[in-house]
Amino acid sequence: MPKVSQAHRQMRQQQILEAAWRCFDRGGVQATTMQDIIAESGLSASAMYRYFEDKEALIVAAITASLGALGKLLQPIFDDVAIPGPAELATRIAQRVDAFVASPGYDLRAIAIQGWGEAQHNDDVRAAISGFYAGFRDRLAVRVRAWQKAGVVPRSARALDIANVIQAVVLGHVVQGAILGDVDAGRIVRGLDGF
């Protein structure tokens, strides 16, 4: 009984979260009404509230879950030992993000940007995103240290500072893609060549 119920519960939650992502992508987090998500998810209002306490809980869950999806998306890149250096790593990550712009009905970038806005005045969201980005940067630093050990990257700079720039470039690329529409990640390596 607990197993069936548990699985059912998780499936329903996922169904709701994906509906929320689509709505957030379409109209913005705050402008999305519960009714929108309810309609998009195909459930009834009260069913919705069985799975998420209130709107804020749903928002936090949706943004948190989107980070999980993003993490899964980027995992292969961290597993790829063939990447030769920081510039290529930044590019690869940017490319991967760009590739998933609109695949399953929602744009992970748009949701990420909405999340940053939400984090400005929602401590739960901020904590979730902050934790994810800090961890992400740490993983970048691990790669950088390996390159430093291999002599590919100079030891003059601290690994974490280099990782910080890699992350900044990727985050900035996301903003540029969402606002300016310049989504060619290849510009990154080429541009970094000039530094």
Partner DNA sequence: GATGAATGAGTCTTCATTCAT
Partner DNA sequence: AATGAATGAAGACTCATTCAT
Closer CB to DNA, 35 or 130, in the complex: 35
Q: How far is the CB of 40 from a copy of itself (least distance, A)?
A: 15
- If binding is defined by CB under 7 A, does position 43 make contact with DNA? yes
Per rule CB under 8 A, count of chain residues that contact a copy of itself: 61
Residue of the chain from 14, 39, 50, 191 that contacts DNA (CB under 7 A): 50
The two structure tokens encoding residue 41? 């998810």
User: Do the beta carbons of residue 132 and residue 60 sit within 8 Å?
Assistant: no
Among 7, 14, 28, 35, contact with DNA (rule: CB under 7 A): 35
The Cα-based distances of 20 to 37, 138, 150 in angstroms read 6, 30, 45
Query: Residue 138: how many CB atoms within 10 A of its CB?
Result: 12
Tokens (6 digits) for 97 = 């993000």
162: Cβ contacts below 8 Å, ≥ 6 apart: 86, 140, 141, 144, 153
What would the x/- binding string for a copy of itself be over residues 59 to 98, using CB under 8 A?
A: --------------------------xxx-----------
Residue 45 touching DNA (CB under 7 A): yes
d(C-alpha 64, C-alpha 53), whole Å: 16
Residue by residue, DSSP assigns 27-42 as H-TTT--HHHHHHHHT
Contact flag: residue 119 with DNA (CB under 7 A): no
Distance (Å, whole) CA 13 – CA 19: 10
Q: Smaller CB distance to a copy of itself: residue 37 or 170?
A: 170
* Chain contacts with DNA (rule: CB under 7 A): 1, 5, 8, 12, 32-35, 43-47, 49-50, 54-56
* Chain contacts with a copy of itself (rule: CB under 8 A): 25-31, 85-87, 110, 113-114, 116-121, 126, 129-130, 133-134, 137, 144, 148, 153-154, 156-159, 161-173, 175-176, 178-182, 187-188, 190-195
